[in-house]
A and B are shown apart, each in its own frame.
Chain A
Amino acid sequence: MLENIALIKEVHEQLATDKAQAIARKFLLNIDEEEISLKRLSACSSIEVFYVQFIRALMTKEMSIIIIAPFSLIENLGNINDIIDKLKLINRKKNILILDRLHNETHYEGCPCNIVK
């Protein structure tokens, strides 16, 4: 999956493969998920795929990241804080917007983010 994440910087910023992969590896290391780098898509769990997608979004120049229905993206995710804590470790610059249905409201209890209904 490392190549998958590194691709964005290689294409958009013409960054050399080893440098782009080093950045991708650093992101994975920061959330304690470095083993994802060696996996193929079929071997990844839904949460690992989610982290890859998120880091890939971080690699772009866009200032906002929109996550749509995380509870349908990630299997057995009990509370949104489980992932938000990890996302905070790697994201300090971009705005994160989570869009979800009202019936998932209970999953957001105790969430430090602003909830707009």
Chain B
Amino acid sequence: MIFRFIHDVGDRTINSLSSLREALKFTSLCLIHMVNPRSYNPAMRMVLTKQIYFTAVTIIPIFLMMAFIFGSIIIGAVIALATEYSLQDSIGSIIVTFVINEFAPFFTALLISLRSGTAINTEIAVMNVNKELNTLREYKIDIIDYLFLPRIISGIISVTSLSILFALIMLSSGYIFTLFYMNMDFHTYKYLLISAIEVSDILVLLLKSIAFGFVTMLIPIYSGLKTANSYTAIPISVLNGMVKLFIAIFFIEVLSLVLQLL
């Protein structure tokens, strides 16, 4: 009984470590291709342009609406709480930290994961099951350059640009609420934000967005690539990919909070 338990634990540990090693190998392979100029052939650039369009541009109307609705409500709640606890003096840094460092990149990553992450996981899984990936390999087309790299780069560009857009919308909503709750004029609000914002805040926003964008595409791609050879395995692959993706997003969020606290 005990021997079986130890055997199972050992077996699972070895399997997990082996999967982790494989995933890290795939990640490093993608990173190597990313810095190699030869990866950027005309076909890859065409796919990249399309991916940016589908990931970042077509989402803009719904993204703006969601950013305005959720962003306004949440920033309103934060300002109301700050006013209630007499934290008006720190309102600038509260807004900057909350919006730029935390909420904008996190919310954008979640939205892109739900919309594009699932789509890419399914797309790669279907291509894998249909042996389309093998056909590309037969034609000596590097699938990392042609399929994966454009999606990963588009993820990084999309999450970063949409996070900035989200932050701008939230900061604009913040002005409406400060005007409503504190009778603050625009110049005072602008001054509060400018004096509160630091280079580190912008860096945190950019680095987090890049990390989120990277995993938002990499994990669904990897999950799709690991799909077993049947159509019934596709939903399982998407499910597993999404669970891993959300764990990765929360891990990055927690890691960034810990690093900021240090």
- Measured CB to CB, the residues of A under 8 A from B are 3, 6-8, 10-12, 14-17, 20, 56, 60
Contacts and interface: CB of A to CB of B under 8 A. Distances in A.
B46 A12 contact: no
B142 to A, nearest CB: 8
Nearest to B43: A10
Contacts, number: 33
Given A10-B41, A11-B41, A11-B146, A17 B139 contact: no
B140 interface: yes
Contact of B139 (A6, A15, A60): A60
Contacts of B139: 7-8, 56, 60
Contacts of B45: 17
Contact of B141 (A3, A7, A14, A15): A7
Contacts of A56: 139
13 contacts: A6-B43, A7-B141, A7-B146, A10-B41, A10-B42, A11-B43, A12-B140, A14-B41, A15-B42, A17-B43, A17-B45, A17-B46, A60-B140
B42 A17 contact: yes
Interchain residue pairs A-B with the least CB separation, the first 4: A10-B43, A10-B42, A17-B42, A11-B141
Contacts of A17: 42-43, 45-46
Interface in B10-65: 41-46
Interface of B: 41-46, 139-142, 145-146
B42 A16 contact: yes
Contacts of A15: 42
Contacts of A14: 41-42
A114 to B, nearest CB: 26
Given A7-B141, A11-B43, A20-B42, 16 more contacts: A3-B46, A7-B43, A7-B139, A7-B146, A8-B139, A8-B141, A10-B42, A10-B43, A11-B145, A11-B146, A12-B140, A16-B42, A17-B45, A17-B46, A56-B139, A60-B140
A17 B9 CA distance: 53
Nearest to B139: A8
A6 B146 CA distance: 13
Contacts of A16: 42
Contacts of A60: 139-140
Contacts of B44: 11
A11 to B, nearest CB: 5
B201 to A, nearest CB: 40
A8 B136 CA distance: 9
Among B43, B140, B145, residue most surrounded by chain A Cβ atoms (within 10 Å): B43
Nearest to B50: A3
Contacts of B141: 7-8, 11
Among A7, A20, A60, residue most surrounded by chain B Cβ atoms (within 10 Å): A7
A4 B42 CA distance: 13
A54 to B, nearest CB: 13
Contacts of B140: 11-12, 60
A23 B139 CA distance: 18
A16 B142 CA distance: 17
Contacts of A20: 42
A56 B43 CA distance: 15
A12 B141 CA distance: 8
A101 B99 CA distance: 68
A12 B140 CA distance: 8
B143 to A, nearest CB: 11
Nearest to A60: B139
